[in-house]
Each structure stands twice: as structure tokens, then as C-alpha cells.
Amino acid sequence: MQCQAQRGDPRPVGIMDSGAGGLTVVREVRKLLPHESILYFADAGRLPYGPRPAEEVRTFVYQIVKFLSGKGAKAVVLGCNTATAHALEYVREKVEVPVIGVIGPGVRALASSPVRTAGLIATEGTVRSGAYQMAIKERLPGVEVVAEACPDFVPLVEAGLVDREEIERAVENHVQIFRKRNVDALIMGCTHFPLLRPWLEAALPGVRMVDPARETAEELKRVLENAGLANAPRGDTESSGAELEFYTTGSVGDLNRQITVFLGLAGARVHHVDISML
């Protein structure tokens, strides 16, 4: 038993998103848990999730979690706020592996420093669900929440952040309400949105940016350790045998390009998944 504990559990962790936004979670997991292998699933063929009915999102997320667990994932992170808002509890009841969302970690990250008025940028589905608003009220009852749906942000990120002028216009259009309400923190409540952080910081100087991805990686670490699922490091370096594998219902070429831009990795193993096979 002792030898088994030292070896750890080498099975991969699954991370899913509607597209490339969950790569921000992959980035933080790789920093914190460099010895954990990762399976990433981008449901780009059904992007975006934000405008979709909650029941449809639940169905999609359940299909993907089943796919990842079938590939050997020992735990799955819903690296998508809309998926977390609509499907976290539903999926947890249906699968055997631990499933982690990003909204709880986002609220914990918000609570790490004093805040009076918090801004929230997210998809229409996440804002409409009220999941963040309820979670903040429960943990920080005195904090006012100003929520703004930003459906145009996701396509800008998926396109690779190439149109800088359009990004600036879109950001300016959505941050005006936060200036008027004098928010002191802004939750980037969609995993795509931290990739817009330079523009958000420029538009809202002095406002603390809250990225749930780091705290999500911390929660994954706690869950793996508490369940005895953590992999044991092979040495002192980050080159510890961890593998990355990617799946998409969209374009393999698009995801490969996004992986190169957002993670700095070239030549990643990306596989296409036919939606009808999920």
C-alpha cells in the first residue's frame, strides 16, 4: 500500500469547455500540478453555450464528462462558467468521478481581498442563471453585484484576439456600467475572458481583476489529494512525464492554433470528435 501511495495515480485529469476558454484553466493546472496529465475537450462544434437553454447545456456537459471518464479521467473540471452554472450538480449525481466547477473557486478568489461592489462579466447563460450572484450573496452578504452579459467577448477570443480595435470597442462598451457603479473588483466569469485581461485592466484602472482559474487549480489539487488520486512527482523538474491530449467537436486546426497562442505549445495532439458519437 505504501508503494502504491508513493507512485500515485497516473491517470489524467479531464478539463472541458465550450471552446478555447478552458485553456486558461489548463495553464493554471499545469503550473500548480505539472506532474498531472490532462485531457482537454473543446465543444467548439456547439459553441457558444451562453445563449442555449439550461437543459441543453446539461445534456452537452454530461456527454463530455462521460467521454472524458471513458478515456480514463480520474476527475473532471468544468472549465466553463455556463457549464458550471447549469450542469455541475446534475453531472455530479450521474458520474462516479469527482467533478469540479469554476464558480465556487471564483467566489473564493473574490473573497481573498476586501470588496464592497463587485462587477461580473459572463455569458448570457451564466448571468441569467444567477449562480454567481447567489454564491456571492451566501459568502459575502454585504457585497453588491453588478452583472453584465458580454456575448461578443467569446467570439473575439475564439478568433485568436487578432482584431485589437474591435476588442477595444467591445470592452469599452461593456465596462461603462462598472465605472458608473464604482466597482472595486471584476470577476472574469467566463474562462475565455482572462485572455482579455490587458484590455480590461486598461479600461478599468485600479479595479482588481478576479480570475477563477488559479483557485480552480487549487481546488483540483485539494480534491485529488483528499481522494488519494494525486499523481506523484517523478523528480524536481516539471518534465515529469505528464502528457497533454486535446479533443474538439470543431476544427482541429483552430484548436491547434489556439493552443499555440494561449499555451505556447506547438504540435499538440488534437483529435476531432464527431458530435453524433457522444
What letter does residue 230 receive in the DSSP assignment? P
H or E stretch at 212: helix 212-226
When pLDDT is cut at 50, 70 and 90, the band that residue 6 belongs to is low
Residue 240 clears pLDDT 90, i.e. is over it: no
Active site amino acids: 80, 190
The pLDDT assigned to 160 comes to 84
Residue 2 clears pLDDT 90, i.e. is over it: no
Residue 8 clears pLDDT 50, i.e. is over it: yes
Q: What angle do CA 141, 146, 149 make, to 5 degrees?
A: 130
User: DSSP letter string over 65-112?
Assistant: HHHHHHTT-SSEEE--HHHHHHHHHHHHTT-SS-EE-SHHHHHHHHTT
When pLDDT is cut at 50, 70 and 90, the band that residue 172 belongs to is very high
The pLDDT assigned to 5 comes to 43
Q: Could you tell me the fold of the domain covering 104-211?
A: Rossmann fold (3.40.50)
Cα-based distances in Å from 37 to 11, 124, 233, 247, 254: 7, 32, 11, 14, 22
Tens digit of pLDDT for each residue in 21-59? Answer: 999 999 999 999 999 999 999 999 999 999 999 999 999
Tens digit of pLDDT for each residue in 149-164? Answer: 999 999 999 988 878 9
Does a cis peptide bond (omega within 30 degrees of 0) precede residue 48? yes
Angle between helices 131-139 and 81-92 (to 10 degrees): 80
Q: What angle do CA 98, 100, 105 make, to 5 degrees?
A: 145
The pLDDT assigned to 235 comes to 56
Give the torsion sign (CA, 132, 171, 206, 31).
positive
Which range has the worst mean pLDDT, 59-63, 93-97, 260-264, 272-276? 260-264
Q: Are the CB atoms for 44 and 272 separated by under 8 Å?
A: no
Instruction: Give the domain ranges of the chain.
Output: 2-101+214-277, 104-211
**Correct CATH for 2-101+214-277 of 3.40.50.1860, 3.40.50.2000, 2.40.50.1020, 3.90.220.20:** 3.40.50.1860
Same topology, domains 2-101+214-277 and 104-211? Answer is yes
**Residue 138, C-beta contacts closer than 8 angstroms, at least 6 positions apart:** none
| Strand partners for 78 | 16
Q: What is the mean pLDDT of the chain?
A: 94
When pLDDT is cut at 50, 70 and 90, the band that residue 238 belongs to is very low
